[in-house]
Structures are given as structure tokens and as C-alpha cells.
Amino acid sequence: MADKIALVTGASSGIGRATAELLAQNGYYVFALARRMYRLEQIRSNHIEPICLDVTDDAAVRQAVAHIISTRGRIDVLVNNAGISQPGAVECVPLEIAHRQIEVNLFGYARFMQAVLPHMRERRSGCIVNIVSVLSRISVPGFGWYSASKYAIEALTDAVRGEVMEFGVKVVLIAPGVIKTEFVPNELRAMEKIPHPVAYEKLLAGVHNLVAGEPEAPGPEIIAKAVLEAVKAPTPPVRHALPLDSKMSVMARWLLGGRIFAWAVRFRMKFPRE
Ligand code: NDP
């Protein structure tokens, strides 16, 4: 019972899995959550306990947190990480799919914050890390619904941080740039499933161009390391954007202003000049 207790969502692959493993190597007892149990079983150990759940399921989230509290007595760290991306033209993504995007990425995080905060508040300690994105401060063609979900979680996180600071609970945003996981291949597959009129062909090609560097992008370990540093820090950063492309993109938007930045994005996506 001496270990610190962490809960990591989306732990069956990518950033969540790397984070669960790194926290476990650093003295945390980790509850690793996702839907694909067979993937979670691959990381089960004396320090990692899988829980199968969909973050959109209210009852399952309440049950998981109750299980952690009843077996381990507390939750020191929540890493909200489970996420999906549905690229495509805003006009063409069916609203039920857009709803799912918001349900997983925004309410999925909110559901866990609501479930763990009463315990953290009572113990007057805890750390919540919300994984957002470079696209939670800039919005680019083809990623409207994803950005909407991530902008919203940034807004919610900034509010929560101020609300729970006096209870000794820390709240951190970590904003990855492009990271080599299953995420980009999955989102491109999801985009292909959305029917688009021919007029949007260049947009779809532009989305591919924008993520073309993914095979050379850093792996999820760099984000896991940032999470570990944040949860161990007495005063963690409010928002940590990494690697450099994540920091630079937001800075470029601020320095260039909306119009020139939008032109630069279209250039990068290889859209024709206006
Ligand atoms: P992966 O696709 O590798 O992992 C996503 C994880 O989320 C999986 O473990 C998946 O598990 C889980 N998940 C998805 N939907 C649900 C659901 N409804 N309920 C429970 N779990 C779910 O992607 P990454 O590791 O790259 O992404 C992690 C986070 O990082 C996301 O929030 C993403 O937005 C963010 N991010 C990623 C970037 C990248 O380039 N990779 C860039 C910027 C941000 P399962 O399917 O088993 O349920």
C-alpha cells in the first residue's frame, strides 16, 4: 500500500501505454484503462492493473474509481489521455460522429475529473494531467472537430486548475505535437470513411501532407517522460508543449496573426495559392 496510485486512460497503446509503463517503473501502482483488454493484458504486472472500460460509459467510470479507492485507498495521479481524432471537412463529418469526438475527448476527461476530484479534495493532494494537443491552441483545415474537442478541454482544465488549487490538487496540460503512435494512421483511416464531394479533394490531400512527417516523429516515450516529470514536480508547469513543433506552432500563430498563419498552414498543406 506504500506505492503512489495512478490511473491512466487510453493505456492500451501509444502515449497512455508508455506513460503507464514509465510510472510503474518509477514506483507508482498504475491502473491502466482502455477498451481493448487483450492489449492491456500485455502490460499487466505487479505494478500495472488493467481495467477494461469505455470512457463514455458513466457507470463504468464510477465503478472503476470506486474499485481503485476500495482496493488502494486513494488516487494520487490521474492521466486523462484516451482520445480519438475524426478529420474531414466540418461540412461533411456527420454530427453523430462529431458528437462522439466531443464525447470521448471532452466528456471522457471531464467524467474522470468529476470522479476523482472528491477523493483528491478530501485528501488535499493529487495531480491531474490532461493530454491535449498542438491543435488545442491552433485550428487548421480538416481538423475542426478534433480541435473543437481539444480547445474545449484546455478551457475546462484552466478553470479546474483555479478551482482546486486551494485543495492541494495540481492540474497540468501536456500538449504533444505529432507523435508516432497508432493515432495518425487511425485518424487517416477514419477520414477515408467520410464521404466528401470532389470539391474537397485538395483538403483531404492537404491533411495527408500535414501529417506526412509522422513516420519520423518522436515516439510516445517523450510524452511519458514529461508526464512523469510533471507529477513529481512540486510546482508543475501549467502547460507543457513538446516536442518543439508543438511549442513553435502556437508561437507562430501568435507572432504571425490569423491571416498570415492561415496562409502558412495552407502552404504547408500544399493548397493552391489564393
Ligand atoms: P493511440 O491511438 O495510440 O491511443 C489512443 C488510446 O485511447 C488507446 O489506448 C485507445 O484504447 C484509447 N481510447 C480511444 N477511445 C476510447 C474510449 N472510448 N474509451 C476508452 N479508451 C479509448 O493515440 P496516442 O497515444 O497518440 O494518443 C493519446 C492522446 O494524445 C490523445 O488524447 C491524443 O489526442 C493526444 N495526441 C496525440 C498526438 C499524436 O500525434 N499521436 C498528437 C497530439 C495529441 P482502446 O481503443 O483500446 O479503447
* Residue pLDDT, tens place only, 96-139: 999 999 999 999 999 999 999 999 999 999 999 999 999 999 99
> Is 182 a pocket residue for ligand 1 (Cβ < 6 Å)?
yes
Mean pLDDT, the chain, rounded, equals: 96
Amino acid at 163: E
pTM beyond 0.75, yes or no: yes
And the C-alpha cell for 124? Answer: 488535499
Outline where DSSP puts E strands in 140-269: 169-176, 239-242
Amino acid at 234: P
> Is 138 a pocket residue for ligand 1 (Cβ < 6 Å)?
no
Nearest to 13 by CA among 186, 258, 171: 186
Q: Which fold has domain 4-268?
A: Rossmann fold (3.40.50)
> Is 176 a pocket residue for ligand 1 (Cβ < 6 Å)?
yes
- pLDDT, tens only, 199-255: 999 999 999 999 999 999 999 999 999 999 999 999 999 999 999 999 999 999 999
> Is 82 a pocket residue for ligand 1 (Cβ < 6 Å)?
yes
SS3 category, 259 = helix
- pLDDT, tens only, 169-185: 999 999 999 999 999 99
Asked whether the predicted pLDDT for residue 84 surpasses 60, the reply is yes
Give CA separation, 175 vs 197, 237, 264, 265, in Å: 33, 12, 21, 19
CA of residue 263 to ligand 1 center, whole Å: 30
Closest-CA residue, ligand 1 atom 10, reads 10
State the pLDDT at residue 265. 96
- CB-based contacts of 111, cutoff 8 Å, min separation 6: 55, 56, 58, 61
Q: Work out whether the CA dihedral 184, 189, 191, 197 comes out positive or negative.
A: positive
Asked whether the predicted pLDDT for residue 71 surpasses 90, the reply is yes
Cβ atoms of 147 and 136 closer than 8 Å:
yes
> Is 129 a pocket residue for ligand 1 (Cβ < 6 Å)?
no
Give CA separation, 123 vs 63, 120, 232, in Å: 20, 5, 17
The rounded percent of the chain whose pLDDT value lies above 90 is 97
Asked whether the predicted pLDDT for residue 273 surpasses 90, the reply is no
For ligand 1, mutation pick of 43, 81, 157, 244 (most atoms within 8 Å of CB): 81
Asked whether the predicted pLDDT for residue 272 surpasses 80, the reply is no
State the pLDDT at residue 271. 80
- CB-based contacts of 264, cutoff 8 Å, min separation 6: 252, 256
SS3 category, 181 = coil
CA of residue 170 to ligand 1 center, whole Å: 23
Q: Name the residues annotated as catalytic.
A: 146
> Is 10 a pocket residue for ligand 1 (Cβ < 6 Å)?
yes
**Separation CA 15–CA 181 (nearest Å):** 7
Asked whether the predicted pLDDT for residue 15 surpasses 80, the reply is yes
State the pLDDT at residue 2. 53
**Separation CA 124–CA 261 (nearest Å):** 43
Cβ atoms of 55 and 102 closer than 8 Å:
no
Atom of ligand 1 nearest to the CA of 82: 7
Sequence spans of domains, the chain: 4-268
